[in-house]
Amino acid sequence: MNELTIAMPKGRIFEEAYKLFEEAGFDLPKEINDSRKLIVEAPEERIQFILAKPMDVPVFVEHGVADIGIAGKDVLLEQLRDVHELLDLRISNCYIATAGLPNTKMNEIAPRVATKYPTIATNFYKEKGEQVEIIELNGSIELAPMIGLADRIVDIVSSGRTLKENGLVEYEKIVDISSRLIVNPVSYRVKRERIREFVAQLKNELNKR
């Protein structure tokens, strides 16, 4: 009864989030880390974890199949889903920026921008008053300027090493990114007390950091 379903992103964010949960005093099963299971129960906490691709976490939460989720701000900005953003977990910090080959200008006739984040890129250039053509790629975005597919890329930068190793430089910073705790709007009301407890416990740990 009164269970919470939490959608967790697989991969890098997961490990940091897991650590945060543990330090906040949640009693989580050990096997969650290294199993191929997609649904893991934490009976002591009456919590059920769903393991999903980071991009899919807001989908689960918006549709209400998960009450709570952990999602990067980049995904939230890109997908504009109807979820409540309750806490900045301050993990997986990075930022989104534009980058390209050094000392280059955008093509005047048809400036092209390659990105995994078409919405964020479109909005950024729109606000700057520039119309650009967006080319959507799924990975290795850095390739695009190197092989002449695009003048600029819009991508996540954490240490800047990937850019450097591929001979690219950062041009403009767009927005800071970190992981957020998101909640389904109905769960936020219907499971109010339970979610409030959960958030308070996490907040407590975050304030200590």
Partner 1 sequence: MSKIQMFEKPLGMRDSFPEVNEQKEYIRSTARNFIRSKGYDFIKTPSVEYFETIGKASAIDESSLFKLVDNQGEMLVLRPDMTTPIARIAASKLLKEKNPLRLAYYANVFRSQRREGGRPAEFEQLGLELIGDFSAYGDSEIIHTAVELVKVLGVKSFRITIGHAGVLTAILTNNTNTKEQVDSLRQLLVEKNFVGFEQKLEEIKLSENQIENLIKWIDYSIDSKSLENFKQFLTVDQEYLLEQVDQLQRLLEIQLNDPSIVSFDFTLASHMSYYTGMIFEIHAEGSGSPIGNGGRYDELFNQFNETVGATGFGIRVDRLLEVLPKTVSVEKNTLLLFHEGFYTKANELAVEKRNNKERVTLQYIESVNDLDAYQRSFDEVLIVSEGGSLRE
Give the footprint of partner 1 on this chain (CB under 8 A): 62-65, 82, 84-88, 180, 183-186, 188-190, 192, 196
- Burial grade of 88 (CB within 10 A; 0-12, 13-18, 19 or more): middle
Nearer to partner 1 by C-beta: 166 or 205? 205
Least distance (Å) between residue 63 CB and partner 1: 5
Residue 32 or 194: the one with the smaller Cβ distance to partner 1 is 194
190-194-200 Cα angle (round to 5): 125
- DSSP per-residue string spanning 100-122: ESTT----SSS-EEEES-HHHHH
Nearer to partner 1, 128 or 196 (CB): 196
User: Smallest distance from the beta carbon of 184 to partner 1, in angstroms?
Assistant: 6
Neighbouring-strand partners of residue 157 = 95
Task: Provide, rounded to whole angstroms, the least separation between the CB of residue 84 and partner 1.
Answer: 3
Which CB atom, from 110 or from 186, has the smaller least distance to partner 1?
A: 186
Rounded to the nearest whole angstrom, what is the least distance from the CB of residue 60 to partner 1 in the complex? 10
Which of 83, 18, 198, 63 has the alpha carbon at shortest distance from 73? 83
Q: Shortest distance, CB of residue 182 to partner 1, whole angstroms? A: 9
Residues 6 or more apart whose CB falls under 8 angstroms from that of 94 comprise: 156, 157, 158, 177, 178
How many CA within 13 A on the CB side of residue 123? 11
- Please, which residues bridge with residue 6 across strands? 49, 68
